[in-house]
Copies of this chain bind each other. A is one copy, B any other.
């Protein structure tokens, strides 16, 4: 049976994973221009429907272009996703490193800075967080490699701060690795429930996540 002509059913669309409208890329990471326009449209669509749920025709329609026009800017649909995942992980990694540098040498200040920055990013750029994290698996290894390397480094950053805090006797926990995973998980899920127009500001959210983190690490 055809996709659109199914007898009586109204052919309702799939639920959007991320219903919000305009998708924003962090400033600076991609210069203004047609490439950026394409990336932002793709960001919104991939976040809503998933990479495989969006066709080149869908993306072109959103941009009011013919499908073929996209190929003047990207060699394939996969390259669009690859750039989005890379940009997302770059923005995160740079923000985390900067936050860490600002925090000084105290592990408590360091972990707070990391978690606050991470929560802020995920709440500010929810579509980018979703696409960079959940659609990465759709890429061939060669196109995902650079992103995977950055992800590894960001995870290492978090684990190192925890291990140092434990070594210095400031933290206590049963398993640094499981605790690190829990802290990261908390941030990763933000885009799925946080609503900027709700009661909670991003700053309050970041503070609560920092507090939860300190508790997980036994800083009482």
Contacts and interface: CB of A to CB of B under 8 A. Distances in A.
Interface string A170-197: 0001110011011011101100010000
From A16, A49, A52, residue with most partner B Cβ within 10 Å: A52
A142 B6 CA distance: 15
A215 interface: yes
Q: How large is the interface on A (under 10, 10 to 19, 20 to 34, 35 or more residues)?
A: 35 or more
Interface of A: 1, 12-17, 48-53, 76, 134, 136-142, 144, 173-175, 178-179, 181-182, 184-186, 188-189, 193, 200, 205, 207-209, 211-212, 215-216, 218, 220
A173 B207 CA distance: 12
A50 to B, nearest CB: 6
Nearest to A142: B12
18 contacts: A1-B76, A12-B140, A14-B139, A15-B136, A15-B139, A49-B138, A52-B53, A134-B134, A178-B200, A178-B209, A179-B208, A185-B185, A185-B186, A189-B189, A212-B216, A215-B216, A215-B218, A216-B216
Q: Is the interface of A mostly helix, strand, loop or mixed?
A: helix
Contacts of A189: 181-182, 184-185, 188-189
Contacts of A140: 12-15
Contacts of A13: 140
Contacts of A15: 136-137, 139-141, 144
Contact of A178 (B16, B17, B188, B205): B205
Given A181-B193, A185-B188, A16 B137 contact: yes
From A51, A137, A220, residue with most partner B Cβ within 10 Å: A137
A14 B216 contact: no
Contacts of A220: 220
Contacts of A193: 181
